Amino acid sequence: MKLATLNNGSRDGRLLLVSRDLTRALDAGHIAATLQLAIENWWSVEPELQALYRELNAGRAEGTFAFDPAAVMAPLPRAYQWCDGSAFLNHGALMQKAFHLDPIDGADTTPLMYQGAGDDFLGGRDDIALPSESQGIDFEGEFVVLVDEVPLGCSAEQAGDHIKLILQINDVSLRALAPREMKTGFGFLQAKPSSSFAAVAVTPDELGDAWRDGRVHLPLRVEWNGKWFGNPNGGAMNFSFPQLIAHAALTRRLGPGTLIGSGTVSNADRRVGSACIAELRAIEMIEHGAPQTGFMRFGDRVRMEVLDSDGQSLFGGIDQRVVAAAG
């Protein structure tokens, strides 16, 4: 099942069902007005949504319209919780080596995760408005899961059952601001402006065999200004999504609609490139002694795409520009 959120002028939009091939959409607001309401009542609304989704894909649903990825918001335009892991240890290892950082104690047994801001997500076609190019504007391609209510102390074994939807994001990062925030120990705040989400959230069954071991075993293709930048595979996560959820729920329950992210997708095979500029720069520092690639400039465009087994866009992709914030 594929779900999107129509931009109807409200803060939370209105729930849409989108056909598997992303060509047709259908209002689903009579079943649940918003994705947040759907996830809060998933056990009751999911069968009804699935039934309508079958009709939509079979071409039997009434009231469908052409699906426009530019007419939707992030599937969940704002979330009560957004926790982002750093589950690809290859990324951290490269950053450590490039910047001569001390290894983080226990990083291979306890996931790294930061609390992010969920109040103002962008759609995957929205411009990213930022105050200054000097802040080191970077993209980060990631996979994310959306969970229903997760009890305190939920184990990794139980956590998988709470994963209801899978999403694709661009976790925008401001690299010039990150080192100071990391050094304080308080974590990222100014360094992590609003993230952007691909058009549709999908149920795990949409991935078929590519969803296994709590991981998305698909390449994430990243283009920067129309040029290939990388296509690392999500299957290389050192911690699975259920492990990340269990980490977040160790000392508290997670409200329904919590988003848990993988961190930037990163593979040891350097031929597949990277999903963020910082990682390429780290590789350049290791290989050449200094970074050779700059960060994003205003007007730059980033495109991120995940294809399903039929070669079709799975999440509707991300295709957006960075622009100067007004004022």
- The residues binding a copy of itself (CB under 8 A) are 11, 40, 78-81, 83, 86, 104-107, 110, 112-120, 129-131, 135, 151-153, 174, 177, 180-194, 247-248, 250-255, 257-258, 325, 327
Residue 120 or 213: which CB sits closer to a copy of itself?
120
Per DSSP bridges, beta strands 221-224 and 65-66 are unpaired
Per DSSP bridges, beta strands 82-85 and 163-170 are unpaired
Task: Enumerate the β-bridge partners of residue 321.
Answer: 301
| CB contact at 8 A, 56 and 24 | yes
Cα–Cα dist 223/231, whole Å: 9
| CB contact at 8 A, 76 and 121 | yes
Give least dist CB 321 to a copy of itself, A. 16
Residue 114 or 211: which CB sits closer to a copy of itself?
114
Q: Is 165 helix (H, G, I), strand (E, B) or coil?
A: strand
Residue 64 or 238: which CB sits closer to a copy of itself?
238
Cα–Cα dist 198/210, whole Å: 18
Give least dist CB 316 to a copy of itself, A. 23
Two tokens, residue 25: 């959409």
Give least dist CB 244 to a copy of itself, A. 11
Give least dist CB 64 to a copy of itself, A. 32
Residue 105 or 310: which CB sits closer to a copy of itself?
105
* Residues in Cβ contact with 14 at an 8 Å cutoff, skipping those fewer than 6 apart: 5, 6, 8, 27, 29, 33, 34
Cα–Cα dist 279/30, whole Å: 44
Residue 56 or 98: which CB sits closer to a copy of itself?
98
Which residue do the tokens 């720069």 mark? 281
Q: Is 183 helix (H, G, I), strand (E, B) or coil?
A: helix
Give least dist CB 115 to a copy of itself, A. 4
Give least dist CB 255 to a copy of itself, A. 3
Residue 82 or 229: which CB sits closer to a copy of itself?
82
